[in-house]
Amino acid sequence: MTGQYALRLGFSTIVAPSSSRGTLPLDVPSLAEDMKGAGYATGIVGKWHVGFSMTAALPSSRGWDKAFNYYTGGMDYYSKSVGGPRNSHFDVHEMGAPDRDERHMSPEFWSGFIWQERAESIVHEHASTGVDAPLFLYYALQTPHSPMQVPDAYTQEAPCAAMSDEDRRIFCGMVRFVDECAEKTHSLMREELAGDDLVFIFHR
């Protein structure tokens, strides 16, 4: 998130587990701040996991014009909660505030769909405003990651359906979803931002 090795910033493990006050050093420019300095509009969707113990550490305070995130390393895909029975909390946020979309809060709605919706909305909004600034979108998918949860539709077709081990079948379904999101996002950017130079980096 800074372009620097973690050890240079004093970290040798996870920056901000859910019980931590750790964060990226506030005096080190974030990737978004550098991109804004180069004239880009910025948006981030999905995993943050580099600090949320203070407002200054949140993505909305670190250079992101649009920020829709879960702050911890992973959460339940249906309850959208993280933590144990005594400290469980809802972990979907928009620009530093809890997301109050009733669909997103529903335990029937799988969280992977939330991030794809928001990534697409950032592209749509940027294209429709006619802003001259190019768009830098950082999209950190939740999948594949524990817990092993994915809608059945992603496990019931080849190659996943042929896998006898349930965990492998679910993991396969998660990867199918990642591929689907990459294809949808790339196609949308080519369509909505036609005429702009497009650099699309997909790292799994």
Q: Which pLDDT belongs to residue 23?
A: 84
CATH label, 6-141, candidates 2.60.450.10, 3.40.50.1000, 1.10.8.60, 3.40.720.10: 3.40.720.10
Residues 16 and 50: their CA atoms lie apart, in Å, by: 5
- Own/partner pairs, 110-113, CB within 8 angstroms, 24+ separation: 110/77, 110/78, 110/149, 110/150, 110/151, 111/70, 111/75, 111/77, 111/78, 111/80, 111/142, 112/77, 112/141, 112/142, 112/143, 112/150, 112/177, 112/181
Q: Which pLDDT belongs to residue 203?
A: 73
The helix-helix angle for 111-129 and 166-192 (nearest 10°) equals: 10
Q: Which pLDDT belongs to residue 11?
A: 76
Instruction: Render the chain in DSSP notation, one character per residue.
Output: --SS-GGGGT-SS-S--TT------TTSPPHHHHHHHTT-EEEEEEE--S--SSGGGSGGGTT-SEEEEE-SS---TTT-EES-TTT-EE--EETTEE---HHHH-TTS-HHHHHHHHHHHHHHHHHHHT-SS-EEEEEE---S-SS----GGGTSSTTGGG--SHHHHHHHHHHHHHHHHHHHHHHHHHHHTTTS--------
pTM: 0.91
Domain definitions of the chain by residue range: 6-141
What is the residue-level pLDDT of the chain in tens, covering all 204 positions? 888 888 888 777 766 655 556 788 899 999 999 999 999 999 999 999 988 888 999 999 999 999 999 998 889 999 999 877 677 889 999 999 999 999 999 999 999 999 999 999 999 999 998 788 899 999 999 999 999 999 999 999 999 999 999 999 999 999 999 999 999 999 999 999 877 777 888 876
